[in-house]
Structure 1
Amino acid sequence: MQSSPSLESAFERLAKLAEARSLAEVERSTSFNTPALKVGGVAFIRLLDESTAVLQCPVDQKVLLMEISPDLYFETEHYVGHDAMLIRLDRISDEELSLRLHDAWTFKAPEKLKKG
């Protein structure tokens, strides 16, 4: 899949933050034809476009985050009721995004990796 330069730079940001967090067995891949980071073959974050990421998270956490920071976290009708929310990449700090990556990895990683 060919991606635009801005899509590539957005994906590099995600990959570098995941690497800095030392998240185990993260692989660069695609999901729904967009760049994604996966663990155990399952995407935990993917790009929707260069300024929006789809993050996997428990529904209760999603509701809380969207309530606390609606400028950063949101959903469209498509994601209502699903364990995923959207992140505005142009508004979120690296520190906050790094925390969300860690949470998403923990949510989707196989148990054997979480214990390691």
Structure 2
Amino acid sequence: MIWDDVVAHALTLPGTELTAYYGGPAVKANGHPLVTPGREKGSFCLHIDQDTKAILMETSPETFWQTSHYDGWPSVLVRYDSADPERVLAMIERSHDWAMSRKRPRPRKR
């Protein structure tokens, strides 16, 4: 799996768009990011609720992990070379569901 595969899958989900997030590419739904490139080589960032993040890191630390940069934030790093790509894709879908269930963020004042 590579970034283009992650983006392609995320864009198949209803209401998603390829846009920018903190100056980099992102797929968002309902104004919330689903996936962004990771700051660490070989991984992307999955934006997901804290409870699911904790479960993923506990059950599959070889795939789902974090650095101190992501500690305390609703996002987890995901290794592209995961042995379970179906679970990775399912977690992108779960991120989408979470984004769609949340209130749309207000536009920032300029």
TM-score w.r.t. length of structure 2: 0.78
Which runs of 5 or more residues in structure 2 are unaligned?
Answer: 104-110
How far did residue 65 of structure 1 move? 0.8
Q: Percent identity?
A: 24
Aligned: 1:106 with 2:97: yes
Poorly superposed stretches of 4+, deviation over 6 Å: none
Aligned: 1:79 with 2:70: yes
SS at 1:109's partner residue? helix
Deviations 1:57-106, CA, capped at 9 Å, x for gaps: 11111111101111001111121111111111122543122101101011
TM-score w.r.t. length of structure 1: 0.75
Aligned: 1:25 with 2:18: no
Q: Mean alpha-carbon deviation: is it higher for 44-53 or for 94-103?
A: 44-53
Structure with the larger helix share: 1
Deviations 1:6-31, CA, capped at 9 Å, x for gaps: xxx83320122224xx4111101121
With over 3 angstroms needed to count, the CA separation of the structure-2 counterparts of 1:47 and 1:92, relative to structure 1, is farther
